[in-house]
């Protein structure tokens, strides 16, 4: 079995991008996170810029605060490959499906990959 060390490392840049994206979508700033949950504003800025990697406990707390899964927050390679596969399978499904079936399938995919734990 070939093992690539990079497959087991967290990419700070991806984490920073994903964190910034989620916070922007939810209208949350580092100051709001500090006020609501005691997150360090300076450190949150560094995480968002991809210059600092939070420890495991902080990643957990951020994911919980933003109501996303840790996997979604870290945007791991497996998730990207699964999404690509899902899109390919959906495209094949769409060819023979009705409008309502397509809408239902799209809703399922959105729910699966939206990062929501609900």
pLDDT band at 103 (very low <50, low <70, confident <90, very high): confident
Q: Residue 110: is its pLDDT beyond 80?
A: no
3-state helix, strand, coil in the chain (%, to 5): 70, 0, 30
Distance of CA 99 to CAs 1, 62, 67, Å? 44, 38, 31
pLDDT of 115 reads 55
């Amino acid at each position: 079995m070939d093992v690539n060390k990079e497959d087991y490392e967290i990419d700070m840049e991806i984490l920073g991008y994903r964190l910034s994206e989620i916070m922007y979508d939810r209208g949350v700033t580092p100051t709001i996170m500090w006020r609501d949950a005691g997150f360090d504003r300076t450190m949150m800025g560094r995480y968002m810029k991809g210059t600092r990697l939070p420890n495991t406990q902080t990643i957990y707390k951020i994911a919980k605060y933003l109501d996303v899964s840790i996997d979604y927050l870290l945007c791991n390679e497996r998730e990207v490959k699964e999404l690509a596969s899902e899109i390919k399978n959906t495209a094949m499904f769409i060819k023979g499906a009705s409008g309502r079936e397509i809408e239902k399938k799209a809703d399922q995919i959105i729910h699966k990959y939206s990062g929501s734990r609900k």
